Amino acid sequence: MANEAEKSPGILLFGAVLLVLVGTMGTIVLPYFDESVVTPTKSAELKNYPTDSAEARGRHVYIREGCNYCHTQAVRPVRADSKLGPVSVPGDYYYDKPTLIMTQRTGPDLTWVGTRYSADWQHEHLLNPQKIGGPASIMPKYDYLSQQDRDDLVAYMLSLKPAPKD
């Protein structure tokens, strides 16, 4: 019987389509029914940048320059992340489109980097990461960015912080 099914293109095709449908339902459709995914957190509201704001422009620069290939934006509930700030929850990404969560942590996680450094520090670090982050830092120098792009990028970096607790 198993042999028969393997040889029948109709059954194989039906099985393949069914599997894809189940996968699609599970990963794309079901999350829309999860309150924690479809409700923005207070921290997410802070990142609902107006399109013409410095933060929104800075986010574009961040993507254009590929910062996200080296930096994640997700604090995991593990001890290694315990000093980074509040653990990320799905609602934090409500306005983060395309989401910059990423997976590759070549540099430190930047989810709440806005709580760690001043604007001056950010500018200096972007111009010369090796001077600030140590000679072994493999982060490229972003000294070729226009002043406007760098200002916007720093505004975006400073905006990456959790909403104050009430």
Say whether residue 139 binds ligand HEC (CB under 6 A).
Answer: yes
C-alpha–C-alpha distance, residues 4 and 76, integer Å = 48
By the 8 A CB rule, do 57 and 4 touch?
Answer: no
Select 47 or 91, whichever has its Cβ closest to ligand HEC.
47
Question: Of these, 22, 31, 69, 131, which contacts ligand HEC (CB under 6 A)?
Answer: 69
Say whether residue 160 binds ligand HEC (CB under 6 A).
Answer: no
Cis status, amide bond into 98, omega within 30 of 0: yes
Shortest gap between Cβ of 64 and ligand HEC (angstroms)?
9
Question: Of these, 67, 75, 100, 158, which contacts ligand HEC (CB under 6 A)?
Answer: 67
Say whether residue 107 binds ligand HEC (CB under 6 A).
Answer: yes
- Give the binding range for ligand HEC (CB under 6 A) out of 25-33, 36-44, 72-80, 110-118: 110-118
By the 8 A CB rule, do 120 and 156 touch?
Answer: no
Residue with the two structure tokens 């490229």: 140
C-alpha–C-alpha distance, residues 156 and 62, integer Å = 8
Q: How many CA atoms lie within 13 A of 67 on its CB side?
A: 22
Q: Smallest Cα–Cα separation from 78: which of 70, 90, 68, 88? A: 88
Select 65 or 90, whichever has its Cβ closest to ligand HEC.
65
Q: How many residues sit in the footprint of ligand HEC (CB under 6 A)? A: 23
Q: Mention every residue, 6+ apart, whose C-beta is less than 8 A from residue 159.
A: 46, 47, 49, 55, 58, 114
Say whether residue 144 binds ligand HEC (CB under 6 A).
Answer: no
Say whether residue 113 binds ligand HEC (CB under 6 A).
Answer: yes
Shortest gap between Cβ of 21 and ligand HEC (angstroms)?
38
Residues that bind ligand HEC (CB under 6 A): 62, 65-67, 69-71, 106-108, 110, 113, 116, 125, 129, 133, 137-140, 142, 153, 157
